[in-house]
Structure 1
Amino acid sequence: MANDQILNHSQLALNATIGIVLAGGQSSRMSTDKASLKLKKQSMLDISTTCLKKAGVDEVYVSSSLHGGLRDLFPNCGPAAALVSSIKQLKLPEETAIVALPVDMPLVSSQLIHDLLAASLYEKRTVHYTDHSHISEYIFPCVCRVNNRLISKLSSTIASGGNLSMHALLEAHDALKIPLDKKFEKMMNTNINTPQQWQAFLKTHEA
């Protein structure tokens, strides 16, 4: 959805949910735009967008001016800064649930996101997954509940040169960790950061 289609308070339905595909990274190790890579004739961006919609998200936005989406107010500062930038521009009501999904996680299922979103709506908290043994945390996908005062504070920190990791962002939101079913761990651990990883991925998933 392009910038001129950004919702305002009066257009957003009560309890509406928002999805943000994080697609504005430099993709320096891949040496090409990850969002445009295609799996079975479908781009990674389209796969991510479709996944969010199937999960029940009401509106989906893209954090990347390259793809006609939201511009990054804090370029080259990482995914947490890009997420803060998107939330700041959307001007959403307090407690709106926002699902954040990187464009390079094509194996994440809509069911996985649906369950995470349901947990956030039930608990009324920011949530993300942890493995079943609670040893490892999965930063993405995550559901953030809008706290505009906190977003303003984090924006000021980033703008003044401070670093913000996704872990720190989730900690700031007092995120609840949801145990992940073991059958989903493989899809969460798939890395597509280099041309070699992409070609290996295609060999097992394009057939």
Structure 2
Amino acid sequence: MIGIILAGGLSSRMGEDKALLRIDGRTLLERTRDVLVEAGAERVVISGSRPGGIADRWAEKGPVGGIASVAAELDDGELMVVPVDMPRIDAATLAPLRDERRMRATRWAGHPLPMRLTLDAQTRATLAELIGLEGRACSVAALQARVGMATLSIDRANPRALANCNTPDEWREANA
């Protein structure tokens, strides 16, 4: 499994680079990488224009643009896609996603990310189609619907681990 950290956004609502926010003595980028390794990632790839990252070819396409950009650099296989702005994500929350393989994508109910995604010819073709679309038609939910998605019941997850932070208020709440 390859871990993908989506860290290419502008962080405009946060007012500063979310990937560099610190929690427990580490940046969110470092913490997310460590969680992915703990969850079984043999390799972790960063989506975004930052040192060691893969620049978004389609920056205006949000997470799908980041996933497509990274996919263009990877061989087929299993991906665990996690946004950098989930300060409480943990390996226990990722494990059920990692282990569920009935469909090409697996996510928690009500949460498009994090997700497990099978990268193969069908997923690549779907990403290429979505990049040509606008708005919600080019979304993680649209990707999941097109490739086939298993949804896990949220009662099996720690809701705090799935909180993402896009604003200073959300950041304070997640770290209270």
Normalising by structure 2, report the TM-score: 0.89
2:160 aligns with 186
Structure ranking higher in strand proportion: 2
Alignment length, in residue pairs?
174
Which residue pairs with 2:169 in the alignment?
196
Q: Is the 8 A contact 1:85 1:155 kept in 2?
A: no
The corresponding residue for 2:111 is: 138
1:128 match: 107
Q: Kindly tell me: are residues 69 and 167 of structure 1, through their superposed partners in 2, closer, same or farther at Cα, counting changes over 3 Å?
A: same
Partners of 1:141 and 1:165 in 2: CA distance: 14
Distance in structure 1 (CA, Å) of the matches to 2:129 and 2:146:
14
Secondary structure class of the residue paired with 1:176: strand
**Match among 10, 19, 23 for residue 26 of structure 1:** 10
Alignment partners' CA distance in 1, 2:116 and 2:61 = 20
Name the aligned partner's letter for residue 196 of structure 1: D
Paired amino acid for 1:97: E
- 2:73 counterpart of 1:89: yes
CA pair 153-23 structure 1, distance change in 2 beyond 3 A: same
Compute the displacement of 1:149 (Å): 4.0
Cα deviation for residue 78 of structure 1 reads: 0.7
Structure 1 segment 30-69 matched on structure 2, within 5 A: 30-69=14-53
AA aligned opposite 2:39: A
2:90 maps to which residue? 109
**What amino acid does structure 2 have at the position aligned with 1:141?**
P
User: What's the C-alpha RMSD, in Å, of the aligned pairs?
Assistant: 1.9
Distance 2:106 2:129 in 1: 24
Identical residues among aligned pairs (%): 28
Are 1:76 and 2:57 an aligned pair? no
Q: Which runs of 5+ in 2 are unaligned?
A: none
- CA, structure 1 residues 173+46, in 2 after alignment: closer, same or farther (shift >3 Å)? same
Show CA shifts across 1:148-184 (max 9, x none). 24423532542x4544111000001111111133551
Instruction: Give the whole-Å Cα distance in 2 for the aligned partners of 1:141 and 1:147.
Output: 19
- Distance (Å, rounded) in 2 between the aligned partners of 1:182 and 1:152: 32
Runs of 4+ in 1 over 6 A off after TM superposition: none
Distance 1:76 1:141, change over 3 A: same
* Aligned residue number for residue 14 of structure 1: none
Aligned match of 1:134: none
After superposition, the Cα gap between the structure-2 partners of 1:151 and 1:69, relative to the gap in structure 1 and judged at 3 Å, is same
Q: CA contact under 8 A between 1:25 and 1:76: conserved in structure 2?
A: no
Where 1:181 maps in the other structure, the secondary structure is: helix
Larger radius of gyration: 1
TM-score, normalised to structure 1's length?
A: 0.77
Gaps of at least 5 residues in structure 1 are 1-16, 131-136
Per the alignment, residue 9 of structure 1 pairs with none
CA distance in structure 2 between the partners assigned to 1:67 and 1:54 by the alignment: 22
